[in-house]
């Protein structure tokens, strides 16, 4: 009998949907799986700001530890949740075909972002979204929010917020509708947004890698390379979107001040995702990013 691999992921409704997508992709290459739910720190603490309890990686570390402890054999993550540095001895072996990269607005009255009432209260837990929202609509009351997608939508229905902004891919995977899918030129996504990635121990990477979707892998690898090159000291709102065209990797990167009043945007292309990502990061810093980071550190 063929071995069944234990597939670990967060213990949430969306994570179960994403685990099923990963299971289907792995099944197509002859790998059978069973899901093992894992509760992360981000799932246990649903009130504190993500920045307070660990920032990027708060939904990943417990799953990675289960992988290292051999409690699971493989793991599936939302790529946007995976920090630039992953656990030693592990590999991001396969990216699944990317979903919608956009952000979705869910509003109480069904209106779009530009039609929200003046001073409307908009919930988001993301500095990237907050800064871009304020750049577009400095009149908005952009407020921190925690909880899963269903919880955030319920807070709109209960009139705690006039609207929330969440990843469109998450809405779609849960069968939820957005009042508006926000155009990318207005709000650029987070590095890795819309993509799922399968992580495993290095010795198992070759077995899993045949499920890899190359265009998604190249695009997200460039986005992650940019994030990595900017360094752990960068706490500014950061957005990125990669793609592949004619054999070349394309990458746009956007860095903003926290209030959205300043924005730097760079686009580059090349053959190697890591090189393109590093070049975009370097140019962002040269064009004013380093000054923004220094000012942010002093504030």
Confidence band (pLDDT; 50, 70, 90) for 223?
Answer: very high
- The kind and range of the H/E element at 132 are helix 127-136
Q: Are 193 and 100 in contact (CB under 8 A)?
A: no
**Whether pLDDT at 183 is above 50:** yes
| pTM for this entry | 0.92
Check whether 157 has a pLDDT greater than 90: yes
Q: Which residues are catalytic?
A: 81
**Each residue of 193-208: pLDDT tens digit?**
999 999 999 999 999 9
Looking only at the bridges linking them, the beta strands covering 103-107 and 4-10 are unpaired
- Residue for token digits 């993550």? 77
pLDDT at residue 233, as a whole number:
63
Nearest to 35 by CA among 65, 68, 13, 59: 13
Element (H, E) at 273: helix 273-284
pLDDT of res. 22: 97
Average pLDDT, stretch 103-132? Answer: 97
| Mean pLDDT on 108-124 | 97
With 70 as the cut, is the pLDDT of residue 29 above it?
A: yes
For residue 53, name the pLDDT band (cuts at 50, 70, 90). very low
Q: In this model, does residue 237 exceed pLDDT 90?
A: yes
């Amino acid at each position: 009998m063929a071995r069944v691999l234990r597939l670990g992921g967060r213990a949430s409704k969306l994570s179960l949907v994403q685990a099923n997508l990963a299971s289907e992709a792995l099944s197509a290459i002859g790998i059978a799986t069973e899901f093992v739910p894992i509760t992360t720190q981000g799932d246990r603490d649903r009130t504190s700001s993500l920045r307070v309890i660990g920032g990027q990686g708060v939904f990943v570390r417990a799953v990675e530890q289960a992988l290292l402890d051999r409690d699971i054999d493989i793991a599936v993550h939302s790529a946007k949740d995976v920090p630039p540095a992953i656990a030693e001895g592990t590999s991001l072996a396969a990216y699944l075909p990317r979903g919608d990269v956009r952000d979705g607005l869910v509003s109480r009255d069904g209106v779009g972002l530009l039609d929200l009432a003046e001073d409307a209260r908009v919930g988001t837990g993301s500095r990237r979204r907050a800064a871009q929202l304020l750049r577009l609509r400095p009149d908005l009351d952009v407020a921190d929010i925690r909880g899963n997608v269903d919880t955030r939508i319920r807070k709109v229905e209960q009139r705690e917020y006039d609207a929330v902004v969440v990843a469109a891919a998450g809405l779609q995977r849960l069968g939820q509708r957005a009042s508006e899918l926000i155009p990318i030129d207005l709000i650029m996504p987070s590095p890795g947004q819309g993509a799922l990635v399968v992580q495993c121990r290095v010795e198992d990477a070759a077995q899993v890698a045949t499920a890899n979707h190359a265009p998604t892998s190249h695009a997200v690898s460039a986005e992650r390379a940019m994030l990595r090159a900017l360094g752990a000291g960068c706490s500014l709102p950061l957005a990125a979107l990669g793609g592949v065209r004619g054999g070349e990797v394309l990458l746009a990167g956007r860095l903003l001040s926290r209030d959205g009043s300043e924005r730097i945007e760079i686009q580059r292309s090349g053959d190697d995702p890591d090189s393109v990502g590093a070049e975009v990061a370097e140019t962002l810093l040269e064009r004013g990013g380093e000054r923004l980071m220094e000012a942010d550190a002093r504030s």
